[in-house]
Structure 1
Amino acid sequence: MKPTLVILAAGMASRYGSMKQVEAFGPSGETIMDYSIADAVKAGFGKIVFLIREQFEDNFRKLFASKLDGKVEYEFAFQELDMYLDGAEIPAERTKPWGTGHAVLCTKKVVSTPFAVINADDFYGFDAFKKAAEFLTTDCNEKTYAVISYPLMNTLSEHGTVNRGVCGLDEKGNLASVVERIGIGLQGDKVKVDDGLQPDELSKDTVVSMNFWCFHPSVYDLYEKDFKAFIKESIAVPKSEFLIPAVVDNFIKEGGEVKVVTTSAQWFGVTYKEDAPAVQKQLNDLIEQGAYSTNLWGA
């Protein structure tokens, strides 16, 4: 059975200033998601799940139906504030989604195979999807998940600081922890962190998570259990978020293993509007190298 790719596209692009998930970056109007989907299909994924806000379903269908019909199975799942709350009342000041962990939970009813999770607005590269597909079809089980990792230097922005999940490894080289570091940026030839934590300087080779995870569908039980605990403790905190690394951390504490799978792929993203021209250039460079055609889905 082929693995599933879950694309998280329900977030509000607050720093970017628009709905960057559906912005065209490729020469024929391709979004970053188009490249991820094409790479995933080539790598052996059999189904795409778009996790979106329900109000955007028509827009997504119009954007992707003509491209994907007959090429790969796809389905939509929705993240809304009232989902999986078990009757808890949403605070009036709460406007943003509950976070990436809740987003994954909201795909529970449409995913039945081992699956990968990615961000809609990150370009991960074919090798990352190839490594993910290999893991999901050969090594993934109820006790073994994976994170596709990148060296920190390959994930920085020239136009501002970024937040990254710094991976800590155990003696076997498996994931021991993911610590969210905030305000990471280049200062001269050094990578500095402006979040008040130590160390305040990181190696350029530091292994980081770019939210590319590989899970067995049994993980949904853990997501549901942990989200119930999160709501009980944090529902009244307006900006609280239930994030994927928190679930992964609990999985590890309960005896699970998370493999750290390194990729040689080129990563880039669009945190800021100023990143857009660089992203377009990087895509054009890859097209010139023959990695992609000028019209990804063919006219």
Structure 2
Amino acid sequence: MSKPTLIILAAGMASRYGSLKQIDAFGPHGETIIDYSIYDAIRAGFGKVVFIIREEFLDKIKAVFDEKLQGKIEVDYAFQSYDLNRFGIDKVIERAKPWGTAHAVMSAKDKVDGPFCVINADDFYGTDSFQKMAQFLTTDVTDDTMALMGFQVGNTMSDYGYVSRGICEVDQDGHLVSVTERTNIYYVSDGQESKKIVYEEGGQQYDLDPATRVSMNFWGFTPRIFEVAEGMFRNFVDENGDNPKSEFFIPSVPDHMVKNGMADFRVIPTSSKWFGVTYKEDKPIVQESISKLIADGVYPEKLF
């Protein structure tokens, strides 16, 4: 079997962060978070990386990654655009931002011909996650059995504002029952010295157990996902075309497949502590976390 492909979602504008965080420096030699993900992917056995970006980002992204990755892993690029014709939709809809993460994955259809995983550009997932996903994609994945890396929500929070997570319901055998995107998860004081996690919906707050498994957009797929997603996307555009803020999220596709008996999704558990950059205030925390991993020997001081 050929080596799996790593798809990196890097088309976001980072409105809450304030700059192009995909190429911001976090390591001691200017390493980006993406650099650490690719380094882990190479060690785990991935053979190709595809950056999904906006076309106007191409020169900046290539300048950061092409030379350092030459000879280490195959590199390619796919563009997330507003063009609906490429997905069989004969419409022109004006939007201020693209159609969401599932639409971004669809943009890589012509770049992938075997098992692949999808990650966010601004999330640090850790070596364990890549090793486990590579193992799954080379031994267990089929069109009927795919996977996601299941993080504990308590290990994925920011101290500086709300986060979006795919909240997972998992059965006793470790298979996904449902996944629901929650876009407003945050800490609140519990009235004592500690804090609790809640999500907000319809103006109401709901408690969330810190051990709840969540999707951090670390999915293991086969190319079958493109066909399913495209059919769903056409329906999504019909129903949401007049809402400029509507987004077609990745979790909606596995959720649809599971509920309609189209595939099983294995939730691969990890106790790793995620860290990432949603807000500028997150940056020094990420830098400190990377420095500790280097000191502990998990990563070399200079990656490439």
TM-score by length of 2: 0.93
State the alpha-carbon separation in 1 of the partners of residues 66 and 172 from structure 2.
46
State the alpha-carbon separation in 1 of the partners of residues 184 and 238 from structure 2.
30
1:31 partner letter: T
Q: 1:197 to 1:3 in 2, by over 3 A?
A: farther
Q: In the alignment, what sits opposite 2:282?
A: 275
The Cα shift of 1:233 comes to 1.6
Over residues 210-239 of structure 1, what are the superposed CA-to-partner deviations in whole Å (9 max), with x where a residue is unaligned?
110000112111111111111122112111
The Cα shift of 1:73 comes to 0.6
Please say which of residues 174-183 and 139-148 is displaced more in the overlay: 174-183
State the alpha-carbon separation in 2 of the partners of residues 4 and 26 from structure 1.
24
Q: In the alignment, what sits opposite 1:141?
A: 142
Please say which of residues 1-10 and 154-163 is displaced more in the overlay: 154-163
State the alpha-carbon separation in 2 of the partners of residues 175 and 199 from structure 1.
25
Q: In the alignment, what sits opposite 2:302?
A: 295
State the alpha-carbon separation in 1 of the partners of residues 207 and 236 from structure 2.
32
State the alpha-carbon separation in 1 of the partners of residues 247 and 184 from structure 2.
18
> Is 2:174–2:268's contact at 8 Å kept on the other side of the alignment?
no
> Is 1:102–1:243's contact at 8 Å kept on the other side of the alignment?
yes
The Cα shift of 1:85 comes to 4.7
The residue correspondences of 1:45-84 to structure 2 (distance < 5 A) are: 45-83=46-84, 84=86
1:247 partner letter: V
The Cα shift of 1:163 comes to 2.1
Over residues 2-23 of structure 1, what are the superposed CA-to-partner deviations in whole Å (9 max), with x where a residue is unaligned?
0000000011111111111111
State the alpha-carbon separation in 2 of the partners of residues 55 and 162 from structure 1.
27
Residue of structure 1 aligned with 2:264, choices 257, 265, 282: 257
Moved over 4 A (4+): 196-199
> Is 2:155–2:272's contact at 8 Å kept on the other side of the alignment?
no
Over residues 127-153 of structure 1, what are the superposed CA-to-partner deviations in whole Å (9 max), with x where a residue is unaligned?
000010011011110101101011111
Question: Do residues 286 (structure 1) and 288 (structure 2) align?
Answer: no
State the alpha-carbon separation in 1 of the partners of residues 257 and 64 from structure 2.
36
Indicate the SS of the match to 1:12: coil
State the alpha-carbon separation in 2 of the partners of residues 53 and 191 from structure 1.
34
Indicate the SS of the match to 1:88: coil
Q: 1:232 to 1:110 in 2, by over 3 A?
A: same
Q: In the alignment, what sits opposite 1:237?
A: 243
2:264 partner letter: E
The Cα shift of 1:91 comes to 2.9
State the alpha-carbon separation in 2 of the partners of residues 239 and 282 from structure 1.
34
TM-score by length of 1: 0.95
Indicate the SS of the match to 2:179: strand
The Cα shift of 1:253 comes to 2.4
2:57 partner letter: F
Please say which of residues 219-228 and 183-192 is displaced more in the overlay: 183-192
CA RMSD of aligned residues (A): 1.5
Runs of 5+ consecutive residues of structure 1 not aligned to the other structure: none
Q: What is the aligned residue count?
A: 296
Indicate the SS of the match to 1:229: helix
State the alpha-carbon separation in 2 of the partners of residues 114 and 142 from structure 1.
9
Q: 1:198 to 1:166 in 2, by over 3 A?
A: farther
1:277 partner letter: P
Indicate the SS of the match to 1:172: coil
Runs of 5+ consecutive residues of structure 2 not aligned to the other structure: none
1:67 partner letter: K
The residue correspondences of 1:1-299 to structure 2 (distance < 5 A) are: 1-83=2-84, 84-92=86-94, 94-186=95-187, 187=189, 188-196=194-202, 200-255=206-261, 256-297=263-304
